[in-house]
Amino acid sequence: MKLSPSILSANFANLAEEVKAVEGVAHFLHFDVMDGHFVPNLTFGPLVVNALRRCSSLPFDIHLMIERPALYAPRFQVGPEDVITFHVEAKDPQEAIQVIRRLGCKVGISLKPGTPLSAIKPYLAQVDWVLVMSVEPGFGGQKFMPEALDRIRKLRKLIGARPVTIAVDGGINPGNVRQVVEAGAEVIVAGSAVFGAPDPRAAAEKLIQASHA
Ligand code: DX5
Ligand code: ZN
């Protein structure tokens, strides 16, 4: 399992130190970009994400919960190790894929818990990564929706032999991470379980341990 801690639950008054704390333990850093339209919350955008490059050598996993991904994706500085994920429910998924692909990073697609898996089927051959939401997007610290487990298993089958990574986001903690990985998740996003803990580095280690315990 690879761990992608979400800074949404970090101390925003000290982001640089928070990000450094998980260096060498985490495999990605997850950034929840929200526009107040696609989800009922506002967070941060490219200015903050790009600035944090100076504090981390981890690949960036940028989760766009925004209405117009094709318009804003080019504002993020990315390389081949990074991934930009947009939502299939947002405007013009096909254009988003083309725009993100041209940036030279990995292309991720995500879907809300209420969106049928069939919605991403037409795009599966064009993406590198699928982010399964196991909470309603918008806020950290929500409870894991157990229906996500079945969805991960179905997605695994749908992907077949294609080189597509399954990431899962929302409500994951040391108590349920193993189930999520056993269902087929390769990347685990965790916000409150890492940055909500008093020692984020130890919490990240614990989560990785629990995934194969
Ligand atoms: C929710 C975000 C998540 C969130 C996860 O909209 O996409 O990445 O930070 O936080 P936890 O792990 O606390 O559910
Ligand atoms: Zn996220």
Q: How far is the CA of 137 from the centre of ligand 1 (A)?
A: 7
State what percent of residues in the chain have pLDDT above 90.
100
Substitution site in 4, 7, 8 for ligand 1 pocket (most atoms within 8 Å of beta carbon): 8
The predicted pLDDT at position 20 comes to 98
What's the mean pLDDT in 65-70?
A: 98
* 199 included as an active-site residue: no
pTM of the model: 0.98
What's the mean pLDDT in 134-138?
A: 98
Asked if the model's pLDDT at residue 213 lies above 90, the reply is no
State what percent of residues in the chain have pLDDT above 70.
100
pLDDT per position as a tens digit, 14-43? 999 999 999 999 999 999 999 999 999 999
Distance CA 204, CA 107 (A): 25
Q: What is the CA radius of gyration of the chain?
A: 16
Q: Are 181 and 166 in contact (CB under 8 A)?
A: no
Ligand 1 within 6 A of CB of 191: yes
Q: How far is the CA of 125 from the centre of ligand 1 (A)?
A: 26
User: Choosing from 32, 35, 61, 82, which is the catalytic residue?
Assistant: 32
Among 143, 148, 144, 210, residue whose Cα is nearest residue 185: 148
pLDDT per position as a tens digit, 119-134? 999 999 999 999 999 9
Amino acid at site 212: H
Structure tokens at 180: 């999520």
* 32 included as an active-site residue: yes
Domains present along the chain, CATH in parentheses: 2-210 (3.20.20.70)
Q: How many CB atoms lie within 10 A of CB 129?
A: 20
Q: How far is the CA of 31 from the centre of ligand 2 (A)?
A: 7
Burial label for 92, CB within 10 Å (0-12, 13-18, 19+), is middle
